[in-house]
Amino acid sequence: MAFGAGCLARSRYERDCLVTEEYRIASEKIHGQGKTIVFLTDLHNKEFGEENSRLLETVRKVKPDAVLFGGDGMVAKRGNSDVRIPLALLTELAKEFPVYCGNGNHESRMLWKSEIYGETYENYRTALENAGIRYLSNEAADLDSDIRVYGLDLPKIAYLPRSGEIPEGLLKETMGEPDPEKFCLLLAHSPLFFEEYAAWGADLTLSGHFHGGTIRLPLVGGVMTPQYQFFYPRCAGYFELPGKGREKSRMIVGRGLGTHSINIRLNDKPQVVVVRLCGADTQQ
């Protein structure tokens, strides 16, 4: 009993922590000085300080060239869909940085179940776009002349418990072929389909969705995903596969910022991901 109480206390502490972790990605497609990106995902209406002041200050300290948001800003469940917190955070970030947003399953759920959620999704998206944010729903936008950001909407079947799948050829059908001359940065909420992302031509995929596995164990990793996969190896971190061209395809899976149905984090602190994109010949 004391052990359980200790774990709950530790979880409450961790849920209010905020850590920054950095990755360096080099590519021959990137020229000049490269770019620094902050990747945020799975906010789920979490606030770090009043009006997310701590999270905003963490991003400002990085001084990124752009902020990418991987979806699940809110909790869309049982008909509830309060979007005020993600809307306020992203709008504030857009005053200082270019911001690009993709959809997670909670944004998509509001769209799939419009008979329950009404026009909440459309109003949320419109408000972000009016704030100058690029909302990428099966769309692409250039971050600069070398880097193109794609935002993939995964279908409902991708989020089924214990498995999930996507139709063959989904990425090509919804977003076309990526430009082989540009560095292709893909926002795809679930990391389950890394093989498909790599085969399509993603140079770097940024995902979230699995909340780091909820509880992380040394040498084992994440224990359980929101889709009830146990000990899934790609819950968080950095991964590689052979790419479509000469370079490897890389994927970074963020642990996210908030929780929802299972309000637990153990050895799994909320995370701000910093990605340093640079040329292949750039010295560290």
Domain contains 173: yes
CB 253 within 8 A of CB 208: yes
pLDDT value for 197: 97
Domain contains 270: yes
Domain contains 144: yes
The domain that holds 102 is classified in CATH as: 3.60.21.10
pLDDT value for 284: 46
What digits encode the pLDDT tens for the residues 188-244?
Answer: 999 999 999 999 999 999 999 999 988 788 878 888 888 888 889 999 999 999 998
What digits encode the pLDDT tens for the residues 16-27?
Answer: 889 999 999 999
Domain contains 29: yes
Domain contains 135: yes
Over residues 267-277, the mean pLDDT reads 94
Q: Which domain holds residue 102?
A: 2-279
Q: In which element (H, E) is residue 195 found?
A: helix 194-200
pLDDT value for 173: 96
Domain contains 273: yes
Over residues 156-179, the mean pLDDT reads 92
pTM: 0.95
Q: Which of 80-84, 107-111, 158-162 has the highest mean pLDDT?
A: 107-111
Alpha carbons 120 and 213: distance in angstroms, whole number = 29
What is the residue-averaged pLDDT of the chain? 92
Helices (H), 131-177: 170-175
Residue spans of beta strands (DSSP E) within 105-263: 134-135, 139-142, 147-152, 183-188, 204-207, 216-217, 221-222, 237-242, 248-253
Domain contains 234: yes
Domain contains 284: no
Alpha carbons 85 and 102: distance in angstroms, whole number = 17
Report how many domains make up the chain.
1
Closest among 122, 145, 120, 116 to 135, alpha carbons compared: 122
